[in-house]
A and B are shown apart, each in its own frame.
Chain A
């Protein structure tokens, strides 16, 4: 398959490549990754960076870099590691680009595309109970939380995106 590129009003969603590494490393070294296991040493961040890219080859879907024309400003996409029960859509925005609605804009496009690459009845977002910013994005996307917690992480709520009729 040819890797997709998605475009929104303000963003291009494209596959990560080497030019994105400095911004990715800086983000993963910051406290902004505290809800997803961070901060990370550069060695671990590199492993995550290459792993994000490798997921595409294994599964046919994965995470995009978000580019607003100035370079990478965040990441967003679908993944399904074997320790997680369902396909997940996730997002992050690097600190300098936060507060602009980029995560919602990107995740909305990624979700539209996601329904075309899976026939799953729902896609979930596992969100740390204390991560209010991410839960706000999930709500804007129309997702809901029914009180269920993730089996792989007791601190994560399962936010459900239902397949559109």
Chain B
């Protein structure tokens, strides 16, 4: 009932999360691979996170997509803005089997392009200091950080993305 756009990249589709995605999502959330996104967590917490990703769309007008490589969901990516944060954030999560292929960079770039196409001019990503895979993605996307710990999460700093004119 909420209209969530579908984005296509060379290898991926970013589409609305649906009920059938919850199984793979819960498996990932229960694994150590979810350590940088509040995990590992039990099914009850995973359901809350999963449904909150979808509910963010009608509440804010934007949100997170399922990242699908044609085999089904292999991760999630999108833009969210919890009120405790300073501004909207671009984030990405890949399930273990889909890592090492450049999918996160490809998905995040599509989400960022979509954001700027709406007329937005600023976007950042909050990344833990020891999350080196995500830091590598941020660098590939051209983002930079001042290294200052965030007020709402002292383990992270904000990585500021290049603006619309720098990503054409």
Contacts and interface: CB of A to CB of B under 8 A. Distances in A.
B18 A58 contact: yes
Contact of B51 (A18, A21, A42, A58): A58
A54 B49 CA distance: 10
A3 B1 contact: yes
A54 B82 contact: no
A56 B1 contact: yes
Interface stretch (B53-61, B87-95, B110-118): B53-61
B83 A46 contact: yes
Chain A residues touching B, range: 20 to 34
A155 to B, nearest CB: 15
Chain B residues touching A, range: 20 to 34
Contacts of B18: 58
Interface string B59-73: 110000000000000
A83 interface: yes
B84 A57 contact: no
A52 interface: yes
Interface string A7-25: 0000000011110010001
B43 interface: yes
Contacts of B55: 49-57
A15 B48 CA distance: 17
A47 interface: yes
Contact of B43 (A47, A48, A57, A83): A83
B11 interface: no
Contact of A21 (B2, B43, B49, B83): B83
Interface in A1-41: 1-3, 15-18, 21, 25
Nearest to A21: B83
A50 B52 contact: yes
A43 B48 contact: no
Contacts of B19: 58-59
Contact of A43 (B16, B56, B84): B84
27 contacts: A16-B59, A18-B59, A21-B83, A42-B83, A43-B84, A46-B52, A46-B84, A47-B48, A47-B49, A47-B82, A49-B52, A49-B55, A49-B59, A51-B49, A51-B51, A51-B55, A52-B55, A53-B59, A54-B52, A54-B56, A54-B57, A56-B1, A57-B54, A58-B51, A59-B19, A82-B47, A83-B44
Interface of A: 1-3, 15-18, 21, 25, 42-43, 46-59, 81-83, 152
3 closest cross-chain pairs (CB), A and B: A54-B55, A53-B55, A54-B54
